[in-house]
Structure 1
Amino acid sequence: MIDLYTTPSPNTWKVSIMLEECGLPYRVLPVDIGKGEQFDPAFLAISPNGKVPAIVDHDGAGGPVAIFESGAILVHLAEKTGRFLPASGAARSDVLGWLFWQVGALGPSSGQAHHFLSAEGPGAALGATRFVRETERLYGVLDRRLADRDWIAGDYSIADIACWGWVWFNGRLVERFANLARWFAAMSARPAVARGREAGFAHITEAQRERLQGRWWSAAVLHEAMV
């Protein structure tokens, strides 16, 4: 059994989608970041950076193992199951390169775009412009990559799983990139993707869900106005 510490977000969906794709048994343990539960000492013992997602794999080699950071979790689950990550060679390096491109570039820029689009005060407009443009540039990188292939690194992989939520996060901007839009539609049609996205929502209150979606969509409306 795997314990998944999560709250609904593009970053945490990576892990729940992977768990669904692999058919691994897991239980969702919601972390209410609005109440600061990510800073509880018990959670910090699992995720020292105080961020979700994090997991505890109770079937790890040598006993339970705690893993934090979404990229590390995806690699762990891929190696555990032998799925969605080649075992060696150039194909493995390709998947890992795109995985860490998402972790280091696509996710942070997209998240900052949403933050500044919904922020107020000095610097908000400048920050929004900067990160929306950078997100658009990164979407162009991914669009060119997908010009001659169905999936980011050849076969369907943890690179696709990592990127999907951060493409979903930016609404109509996707429509400007034909290859990216095709890939996004194919990803969204996978049953495990839909189940993984909903996994966290099933364990929060309706008020929490409305608060999260309100924050996402208020930024999305502004984003669409800019692009």
Structure 2
Amino acid sequence: MPDLSAFAITHKWPAQHPDRLQLYSLPTPNGVKVSIALEELGLPYEPHLVSFDTNDQTSPEFLSLNPNNKIPAILDPNGPGGHPLALFESGAILLYLADKTGQLIPQDAAARYETIQWVMWQMGGVGPMFGQVGFFNKFAGKDFEDKRPRDRYVAESKRLLGVLNQRLVGRQWVMGDQYTIADIAILPWVRNLIGFYGAGDLVEFSQFTEVQRVLDVFVARPAVAKGLNIPARG
């Protein structure tokens, strides 16, 4: 049985199953990327809720694994060479899990890099822009009288949705027929933008019919439906 006691994070979130991959997360768009991937891959894992309500993400134990104090993070007791591996950043974790299992990413070198390209597109554009729309539409930003900051992020989010919509024309998924980590990276953010953030009308989502088509198929997947609620909120 692996001994994970050297990792301080396990002192706050003890591993009941130290032979399983440990997930430290919250069901946000970034967090559910990893839980969905784990469900799709069928890897044994143990989820731990990192509660923002109690500032768990700034605790010394969490910072010992992720100094950037963001979820998700993982601790894989069976990492490369049989040694434990601690990892943060959702895009890096998705790529690691895909490489670990040889699934959810094309084996052809060119298609592999194209998939990674779309994951980076989400990380660098979709996440930050959609998140800002959420701030200005749902949270404190909605009280700002000056709507220019909000409108700037709305315009960029619409542009990004247009890029994705065009990419999906004639394709089942971002990479064509193969469902990959690119879909798992991007689509939870789309779902959150029009769902939790309530910004569907603001970004005129009804015009992005290809995105809606693929999103509907995505959320109907059993692994996605389960992963969207992991870790369960207290």
Residue 65 of structure 2 aligns to a residue in which SS?
A: coil
Residue 151 of structure 1 aligns to a residue in which SS?
A: coil
2:152 counterpart letter in structure 1? R
Correspondence for 2:6: none
Matched residue pairs, number? 203
Q: 1:158 aligns with which of 181, 194, 199?
A: 181
Residue 170 of structure 1 aligns to a residue in which SS?
A: helix
Contact 2:41 2:101 in 1 (8 A): yes
Would you say 1:86 and 2:106 are equivalent positions? yes
**CA distance, structure 2, for counterparts of residue 30 and residue 123 of structure 1:** 36
Bigger shift: 150-159 or 15-24? 150-159
The structure carrying a bigger helix percent of its residues is 1
Q: For residues 7-65 of structure 1, what are the alpha-carbon distances to aligned partners after superposition, in whole Å with 9 as ceiling and x for unaligned?
A: 12011110000000000111111111122111111111111101000000111123211
**CA distance, structure 2, for counterparts of residue 65 and residue 47 of structure 1:** 12
TM-score, structure 1 normalization: 0.85
Q: How does 1:9-158 map to 2 (within 5 A)?
A: 9-61=28-80, 62-117=82-137, 118-120=139-141, 122=144, 125-154=147-176, 155-158=178-181
Deviation, 1:88, is 4.2
Instruction: Provide runs of 4+ in structure 1 moved above 6 Å.
Output: none
Contact 1:102 1:162 in 2 (8 A): yes
Q: Which protein is bigger by CA-based radius of gyration?
A: 2
**CA distance, structure 1, for counterparts of residue 119 and residue 181 of structure 2:** 7
Correspondence for 1:179: 210
Correspondence for 1:215: none
**CA distance, structure 1, for counterparts of residue 106 and residue 193 of structure 2:** 30
Contact 1:43 1:50 in 2 (8 A): yes
TM-score, structure 2 normalization: 0.83
**CA distance, structure 2, for counterparts of residue 5 and residue 15 of structure 1:** 10
1:68 counterpart letter in structure 2? F
Specify whether residues 124 and 115 from structure 1 end up closer, same or farther in structure 2 by C-alpha distance, changes over 3 A only. Answer: farther
Deviation, 1:87, is 3.0
User: How high is the sequence identity, in percent, across the aligned residues?
Assistant: 44
RMSD: 1.4
